[in-house]
Structure 1
Amino acid sequence: MDTPLPGRHNAITDVAGVRVGHVTRDEPGWLTGVTVVVPPPGTVGGVDVRGGAPGTRETDLLDPLRLVDRVDAIVLAGGSAFGLASADGVMQEAYADGHGWPVSAEDESEVVPIVPAAVILDLGRGGEFTHTPTAEDGARAWREAVAGPVAQGSVGAGTGARSGGLKGGVGTASAVVNGVTVGAIVVVNAMGSPCAPDGSLYAVRSGLAAEFAAVPDANPAAAQAYWSALAAAEAELRAGMATTIGVVATDATLTKVQCRKLAEVSHDGLARALSPVHTAYDGDTIFTLATGGKEAPTDLDLVHLQAASADCVTRAIGHAMLAATSMDRTADGGICLSSWADSLTTKVPG
């Protein structure tokens, strides 16, 4: 096995043909958004849902026993179940662009776009409970999806995210192993902590090519303040108030069954970066996309690909936490959360 290295942008878009679009709603009264992953036509999809309180769309269709195997887009959004409306806009844009599963033998323009989705619960964090992503937000995310570098932190579906007692967000990472590229994009809104007891990030231990070399260790004062904040955050939790969702993409040729297995193994990446995961309060969901740009891997190479995908999920969570920015919305009733970076300067009272 070759030593895995990050792709050019260290992002899911290092997988050829994959594009990402963000819509961020952070105007007064809002703190939510949409992130859309758009693969090339013919991409095979899979999913694995492990959280106890998921909010999803079209996940049953991705079961290996179901007919449809191609995916036109994956939507990650805030807004809890209300945010699933954003997938309607993506579906309409995909249809307008001619993407979808054919449903007519006579008219090839009659297609139904396949747009699975998952959401996080960020309701009310910007101040207004009813301010949630709309179909137009989803449509705009599709139109603005691009290849190349991907914005991270408090953007898109991660705009109103939190993780433990800290500000969460969107992160991405990639790896090239045995000539195959794999990448992940993750929205971190977990009940669990991204931090070890000393306040350092779990995810930095999985870095490739010294990507986290400049990340400082947390000091004891910051750690103490963090755990106090986490305890307060847990006291507010209800079922569905958390969730980590994401997409793993690869240019390997995989079957629908193999995509499902890739999603299952990718969940290992959550466990390496967050503790605990898959709780009754979380809706943890990972989608997978295989574009087929490269040949089908051998059995052993497939294992290497699965391991790299889990590591990409872990590293993406680390990038999300590092890129997140502190939010102070107490004036209009929203959240007040420090980012992990800002927590380094936190002083314990007294």
Structure 2
Amino acid sequence: MDKLIIATRGSQLAMWQAEYVKAQLLKSFPNMVIEFAVVTATGDKILDKPLALIGGKGLFTKEIEDAMLAGRAHLAVHSLKDVPTELPEGLRLAAITKRDDTRDVFLSHTYRTIDDLPHGAVVGTTSLRRQMQLRAIRPDLTIKNLRGNVNTRLRKLAEGQYDAIILAYVGMKRLGLLESVPYHDPISEDVMIPPSGQASLGIEIIDDPEVAKIAETLNDPDSQLAAKIERDFVARLEGSCQVPIAVNAKVNEKNVLGRAMVGLPDGTEILQETLELPREEAEEMGLKMADIMIENGAKELLARAEAMAFKEERCERF
């Protein structure tokens, strides 16, 4: 194959990710011509509503997938956390890149940590997962919706619209923006469990053997196993719209440690599960954790969580 077209969103972070994948591919295929097809996703256009109200994760992948299915691209680079667990016919997730730091990061121009925030401080995040875990430890905080690309969110923080915001650490690191904020404190995963797929890139391809062979050079086995566990867990539990679900799998040579949390957006009711298995027995860990939590009432709790989240607005579907 002489030419490969990569579909990507046009945000600064998305382009960083696409350039990174291009550079990795050129190590294995130095003579290949690699071009980008830049696509604007619905999630990039609608910035005045939480994602859960307008269709959730698929809003960042649908237009890219449409471009691939129409023959305008061979391969797409996604933040894996944005990729739905079900993909359109004719496309598949062919590789998971080596995972980076999965933590969230606390950002503020005034306060050093979450613990330093005064009573009633305004924290920006639209993630129901972050809201749930924040309110569990600091129910006094005011949570305010936060949308836009990374630079837009940082500008709103600098303007004083928020006392602090929470973003993915890896995005700030990749864009070299951590030092632009006076106080940036990575949040321990003991305090805030990440979402499925955080800090890995998902390589989605058209169903073509030659493209698959190219994509396989990007795959990291440890990250692939972690991704399967996390995505299996979400697939077993997720409701019709985005709900507060946190899940993370840590893979080493011998063992896999899985941790998961679901609950109400206000943090008043939470279910947690931790499971550690030998690596050779961990393939179905995500399903096992989900089934344990279902037995403990997770589906009923998530149904209540969906009704509670944005209860004054209607969940739209695309």
Which of the pair is proportionally richer in helix?
A: 2
Alignment TM-score > 0.5, same fold: no
Larger relative contact order (C-alpha < 8 A, sep ≥ 6)? 1
TM-score of the superposed pair, with normalisation by structure 1: 0.25
